[in-house]
Amino acid sequence: MNLRNVAIIAHVDHGKTTLVDRLLQQSGTFRENQRVTERAMDSNDLERERGITILAKATSVVWNDIRINIVDTPGHADFGGEVERILNMVDGAIVLVDAAEGPLPQTKFVVGKALKMGLKPIVAINKVDRPDARANEVVNEVFDLFAALDATDEQLDFPILYGSAKEGWMNFSEDGPKDEGMKPLFDLVVRHVPAPKIEEGPFRLLGTIMESNPYLGRIITGRIFSGTVKPNQMAKVLDRDGKVIEEGRISKVLAFRGLERTPLDEAEAGDIVSIAGLPEATVANTICAPDVTEPLAAQPIDPPTLAMTFRVNDSPLAGTEGSKVTSRMIRDRLLREAEGNVALRVFESDDKDAMEVAGRGELQLGILIETMRREGFELSVSRPKVLLRRNDAGQLEEPIEEVVIDVDEEHSGVVVQKMSERKADMIEMKPSGGGRTRLVFYAPTRGLIGYQGELLTDTRGTAIMNRLFHDYAPFKGEIAGRRNGVLISNDQGDAVAYAMWKLEDRGPMMIEPGWKVYRGMIVGEHTRDNDLEINVLKGKQLTNIRTTSKDEAVRLTPPIRMTLEKALSYIQDDELVEVTPKSIRLRKKLLDPNDRKREERRKEAETV
């Protein structure tokens, strides 16, 4: 069977999805006059809005009668769980590297996994048209990275292509020629990536990507390791330990043909296909013929490092904006998410109305919350907390991340100072071209919560931060959190501009006039370090005295705009973010001020 399976792996923003666009266009997958959106593989709304890939997806093209299955993978470390599974499906990898930025943490993370599995990489240096491109230096950095990751001699002898996915060309020289388009890349994939190894025996497929379809039910995508599969064939599903989860009939076998899926009468070993009709099957399960007893080995997934508590929204405004508000609905939705996303863990919390969700990072959990609010859910979410563990000697350990910050030289001092306050150790500091410096730190995950916004403020928006889970290390002690207190509303109603104007010297507001507020809701940031209750509902005394100086128009300072990620990193342990389809509000966990004082006294007594 003339077939090649290849994954495209790279750091975020290095051009994977754009490269897949060009491969689809130049292989003749689209008609001449067909209108195709940019970044066609980014199919869900959040991916399009943020310009990032969240879910791994497969497609296929035909080149000189050889079918090439291509898998587009996410570049963010938070979605690394997707990439780890994908590598089981392919026999080769195109490692895409930005010609200016060079290999960054996520490149290192995925390449390390790919090399360990014995994949032979093709290195493609993308964006050579950038004015600050330094292709030759980047090739040396990639070689050093492969050597540091214990690549074999065969893997170190990797072929190199240069080009620009945006301009639609790749070649063996950075000067071109450009008129051959993507032909050199296609030819190299056919030549360098081995055809899939086909094992003997009956039908076996390892589930790698799961999605649900309103007509076909649950669809599992994976690679067939042995045998053939047809619609209406009997099959059973085994988990990692070989336990039978279900037996049933396969209703449809679908193959990727460009961006479309087409039903097949039969699929052979080595191909990547989607199977429908098995409602219990999930990721990392083996779907196989009834006489198979041994499951296929699935790649172990790195453990989650952050956890959040998702609870029912119990504020006075609960149920006014969302349609899905009960704890049962939230629980079912989270359990459904955990089935398809192996990097997420969902646990029952001690509190009956709450669920504990553990994941790889703030971005991954933030995307889950954003997806839920768009589906009509209302919920309140706690501050992310780091998952600690004890080693064999009983010592407390915490997750440490490798942080790479690219920053203009003039701002490097403030970045080093802020990172040391957050208990980070600097590993490396080197110029990265164009008057910029690359700083590498090992920092506790706890210290990085909420640092992204502060970093951009300190560096006037010029810094780029990339982070990746490194290892567990002994607990580094307390890290100072937010330094300012908050302004809390002492009553329920609609905020009044006059009252907010009078309170401006207390600190910046987070609400606008006319917004609904309630007792215990956070409406602004206090200029001092303590919390303060204020009244934002008090209107102007309407007397019959009128003077021009008295009656000036109220001009308010623009409020602090709270995005979901900003809100999650801003709150403290005694606060929650209330998320509804229309609003993001900050509130105290205990809305009643007397309850809060009682809790404070109890904590003081405990510490004494």
Q: Is 14 annotated as a binding residue?
A: yes
**Is there a binding annotation on residue 126?**
yes
In whole angstroms, how far apart are CA 389 and each of 36, 392, 399?
49, 10, 9
Query: What is the Cα–Cα distance from 391 to 474, expressed in whole angstroms?
Result: 9
313 touches 380 (CB < 8 A): yes
Residue 127 assigned as binding residue: yes
Q: Are 305 and 385 in contact (CB under 8 A)?
A: no
Count Cβ neighbours within 10 Å for each residue of 369-401 and write b for 16 or more, e otherwise: bbbbbeeebbbbbbbbbbbeeeeeeeeeebbbb
* Alpha-carbon span 100 to 162, nearest angstrom: 12
531 in a labelled binding site: no
Write the DSSP assignment of 399-429 as a string of letters: EEEEEEEEEEGGGHHHHHHHHHHTT-EEEEE
16 annotated among ligand-binding-site residues: yes
DSSP secondary structure letter of residue 542: -
Q: Which residues of 466-480 are buried (b: 16+ CB within 10 A; e: fewer)?
A: bbbbbebeebbeeee
18 annotated to a ligand binding site: yes
Contact 398, 485 (CB under 8 A): no
| Rounded (10°) angle between helices 412-421 and 451-458 | 150
Q: How far apart are CA 94 and CA 362, in angstroms?
A: 28
How many helices, marked H, and strands, marked E, lie in the chain?
15, 34
Q: Is 418 annotated as contributing to ligand binding?
A: no
Which of 421, 426, 430 is CA-nearest to residue 448?
A: 421
R_g of the chain, CA atoms, integer Å: 27
| Distance from C-alpha of 416 to C-alpha of 268, rounded to nearest angstrom | 55
Q: Is 17 helix (H, G, I), strand (E, B) or coil?
A: helix
d(CA 89, CA 156): 22
Q: Is 128 annotated as a binding residue?
A: yes
C-beta atoms surrounding 505 within 10 Å: 6
The residues near 516 (Cβ < 8 Å, ≥ 6 apart) are 317, 493, 494, 495
CB-based contact 102:138 (threshold 8 Å): yes
Q: Which residues are annotated as a binding site for GTP?
A: 13-18, 126-129
Q: Which residues are annotated as a binding site?
A: 13-18, 126-129
